[in-house]
A and B are shown apart, each in its own frame.
With several copies, the nearest count.
Chain A
Amino acid sequence: MSFPATIKEVMAVVLSRELEDGDHLQVGVALPVPEVAVRLAHIMHGPNMQLIFLGGRMNVHHLESIPLPDFGWDSRSVRWAESYSDRGHRFDQVKAWHKRVFFVGGLQVDKFGNINLIGIGNDPTKLKFRGPASVGTPTLTTHVGRYYIVLNNHSSRVLVPKCDYVSAVGWHEGGANSRKELGIPGGGPKLCVTPLCVMDFTEVEKRMRLVSLHPGVTLDDVKANTGFELVIPDIIPTTLVPTEDELTTLRTRVDLNGLLRSG
């Protein structure tokens, strides 16, 4: 267990530490890093967390392991559910979503944390790259207590000055009141976690700001791969790597097939 953590494992541990006991955790599609993170947090420090998969709600803190499912649409992943009440009522209780934490990716993300899942190109009826559409991200990011942007790669094609289309509003055109002015009640994006670094949003302008660099990543790497001017603080720490306990738990109780160790 002493071989070093991969970048994806570092990302998962960063996210898991962000989660508080009692959070209700929902992960967007095709995001294995937060899929691992929510399970790890549940085991490590979250006996009152709820995992929300495919509309089922689970608390599986009592299990020896909470392995990733073979593939996302497998209904066995909700085998230990305590309720399926979200099925058919998934959006009928957004009033209670202040406890909910969401994780989302994007084709494009801009400096205010707005996200595009629609596509790339000028003509929406003939996009140059047609994306998978917005899923439930507009509604979820509008109402959840907080959410995390998680990117599978950090490049200037993804982190852009302005999204071609906005699927989910982060801090809109900037400013701590920007969501409120639009009439969007939720807490907004808290961090953006990529394979290079952790970023947050400045207090007043709500512009994306570097928080820490992952081990082995330089500031120039980040700048060269970010399509907009990132706010750079005076002191830039290295992202805290997983502890022995965290890494062992991640590998032996969650990521049994080593999905985050490959690639």
Chain B
Amino acid sequence: MLNQVRESSVLPEEKAGQWVKSGMTIAIGEPAPMGLLRWIIRNKITDLTVIGSGLALDYLIAGGCVRKVITYYAGSPDIAVMPAFRSEAENGTLEVWECEEGILTSGLEAAGKGLPFMPWRGGVGTSLPDINADLKVIRDPIGGEVLIAVPAINIDITLLHASISDSYGNVQHCRGTGWLDMFLYRAADRVIVQVEKIVSNEEIRSKPWETTISNADAIVLSPYGAHPFYSRGYYVQDQEHIRDYLEAITTAYSDGNRDKKDGYFEKHCNQFQSHAEYLDAIGTRHLISLSEY
């Protein structure tokens, strides 16, 4: 017998994090895999092309890791336009692959299906194909209707945060996945999933219809790993922490004062050797106060 043991997919954060190399195309799901994003910032990974949205994407831009974003939405209910995104895009230091939700999902679907493109109607008549030269206006080969051909969007590594998985990479999101998670998973060469809890294989098999991702390449145990953002069924956003982030980063960019930005990341990210140290600094009492109920 050559091999009689089923292999575990569980990796420590630093092992999984090392898969991410400068220059890669990565994607960020929802809830946000903040533990891994902090690892990326701490380890000075740069020149990433990032598919994502909202403040988690901004965090990575502010952290100095991003050269190009593929995003349909760079705002949040907390702020009209995210500060690092806005400032770097206006300066021309951040490239934006202009798109929208249906165009983005079409490109991701094409990648997952091994196709060079997918057609989409949303965006016809808009400025999107003018701004983004990768989007081609075509006539459909059946009836001649005008559509947009979206090229496949392939991803090196997708980073997700979910509720539970077993040790073999079978992931079950609580209350459904984030809107893009499944698209990002299917379009990627590899997927790393942070989870709140690792459960037994038997627990997964007792409700296989809840499995959202099978064969995750790496599982990282990361309780409270989406902090300061929410994790469905576990905790809500840390509004105070997010307000502090927005204030620090907005001020840093409007002053042109890099130190303020560095100070923020030193205090909230770089000084920690691990996710556990980060959680210690946040404090158990505060974490518990965020419980979703």
Q: Do chains A and B touch in the complex (CB under 8 A)?
A: yes
- How many residues of chain B are within 8 Å of chain A by beta carbon? 86
Known: A81-B208, A82-B168, A139-B123. A134 touches B292 (CB 8 A): no
Task: Tell me whether A55 and B176 are in contact (CB under 8 A).
Answer: yes
Task: Tell me whether B112 and A94 are in contact (CB under 8 A).
Answer: yes
User: In A35-68, which residues have CB < 8 Å from any B CB?
Assistant: 44-45, 47-48, 50, 54-57, 59, 61
User: Does B273 reach chain A (CB closer than 8 Å)?
Assistant: no
CA distance A21 to B5 in the complex (A): 10
Task: Tell me whether B113 and A30 are in contact (CB under 8 A).
Answer: no
Measured CB to CB, the nearest residue on chain B to A55 is B179
Task: Tell me whether B102 and A139 are in contact (CB under 8 A).
Answer: yes
Measured CB to CB, the nearest residue on chain A to B127 is A165
Task: From the candidates B82, B90, B166, B181, name the one contacting A127 in the complex (CB within 8 A).
Answer: B90
User: Which residues on A sit within 8 Å (CB–CB) of B205?
Assistant: 80-82
Task: Tell me whether B100 and A133 are in contact (CB under 8 A).
Answer: yes
User: Does A138 reach chain B (CB closer than 8 Å)?
Assistant: yes
Task: Tell me whether A45 and B77 are in contact (CB under 8 A).
Answer: no
User: Does B125 reach chain A (CB closer than 8 Å)?
Assistant: yes
User: In B144-178, which residues have CB < 8 Å from any A CB?
Assistant: 145-147, 166, 168, 170, 175-178
Task: Tell me whether B125 and A172 are in contact (CB under 8 A).
Answer: yes
User: Which residues on A sit within 8 Å (CB–CB) of B95?
Assistant: 125
Measured CB to CB, the nearest residue on chain A to B73 is A135
Instruction: Tell me the dominant secondary structure on chain A's binding face.
Output: loop
CA distance A183 to B54 in the complex (A): 31
User: Does B227 reach chain A (CB closer than 8 Å)?
Assistant: no
User: Does B230 reach chain A (CB closer than 8 Å)?
Assistant: yes
Comparing A85-93, A189-197, A220-228, the segment that makes contact with chain B is A85-93
CA distance A130 to B232 in the complex (A): 31
User: In B115-150, which residues have CB < 8 Å from any A CB?
Assistant: 120-128, 130-131, 145-147
Task: Tell me whether B201 and A138 are in contact (CB under 8 A).
Answer: no
Known: A45-B2, A130-B86. A169 touches B126 (CB 8 A): yes
CA distance A50 to B78 in the complex (A): 26
Task: Tell me whether B72 and A135 are in contact (CB under 8 A).
Answer: yes
User: Does A235 reach chain B (CB closer than 8 Å)?
Assistant: no
Task: Tell me whether B74 and A133 are in contact (CB under 8 A).
Answer: yes
Task: Tell me whether B182 and A83 are in contact (CB under 8 A).
Answer: no
Task: Tell me whether B292 and A135 are in contact (CB under 8 A).
Answer: no
Task: Tell me whether B80 and A83 are in contact (CB under 8 A).
Answer: no
**A237 nearest CB across to chain B (Å):** 23
Task: Tell me whether B131 and A138 are in contact (CB under 8 A).
Answer: no
User: Which residues on B sit within 8 Å (CB–CB) of A184?
Assistant: 121, 124-125
User: Does B7 reach chain A (CB closer than 8 Å)?
Assistant: yes
C-beta contact mask, A121-147 vs B, less than 8 Å → 1, else 0? 000111111111111111110110000
Task: From the candidates A59, A73, A119, A183, name the one contacting B230 in the complex (CB within 8 A).
Answer: A73
User: Does B285 reach chain A (CB closer than 8 Å)?
Assistant: no
Known: A59-B168, A138-B102. A130 touches B208 (CB 8 A): no
CA distance A40 to B100 in the complex (A): 30
Task: Tell me whether B121 and A142 are in contact (CB under 8 A).
Answer: yes
CA distance A95 to B185 in the complex (A): 11
CA distance A187 to B89 in the complex (A): 34
Task: Tell me whether B179 and A88 are in contact (CB under 8 A).
Answer: yes
**B132 nearest CB across to chain A (Å):** 9
User: Does A76 reach chain B (CB closer than 8 Å)?
Assistant: yes
CA distance A65 to B186 in the complex (A): 33
User: Does A74 reach chain B (CB closer than 8 Å)?
Assistant: yes
User: Which residues on A sit within 8 Å (CB–CB) of B181?
Assistant: 88
**A192 nearest CB across to chain B (Å):** 18
Measured CB to CB, the nearest residue on chain B to A91 is B102
User: Does B251 reach chain A (CB closer than 8 Å)?
Assistant: no
Known: A95-B186, A138-B123, A139-B123. A129 touches B90 (CB 8 A): yes
Task: From the candidates A48, A94, A97, A134, name the one contacting B6 in the complex (CB within 8 A).
Answer: A48
User: Which residues on B sit within 8 Å (CB–CB) of A119?
Assistant: 89
Comparing B14-22, B103-111, B258-266, the segment that makes contact with chain A is B103-111
Task: Tell me whether A47 and B182 are in contact (CB under 8 A).
Answer: no
Of B101, B125, B145, B178, most A-chain CB atoms within 10 Å? B125
By Cβ-Cβ distance, the 8 closest A-B pairs, closest first, are A139-B122, A132-B75, A72-B77, A83-B211, A139-B102, A136-B101, A84-B176, A169-B125
Extra A-B contacts (13), CB below 8 Å, given A118-B98, A130-B89: A21-B2, A29-B73, A30-B77, A75-B233, A90-B179, A92-B112, A92-B186, A127-B90, A130-B81, A133-B74, A143-B122, A168-B126, A182-B146
17 contacts between A and B (CB under 8 A): A29-B77, A50-B215, A57-B215, A81-B205, A83-B214, A87-B178, A91-B113, A92-B113, A94-B113, A124-B131, A129-B90, A139-B100, A142-B121, A166-B125, A166-B126, A169-B126, A182-B146
Interface residues of A (CB under 8 A from B): 21, 29-30, 44-45, 47-48, 50, 54-57, 59, 61, 70-76, 78, 80-85, 87-97, 118-119, 124-140, 142-143, 165-169, 172, 182-185
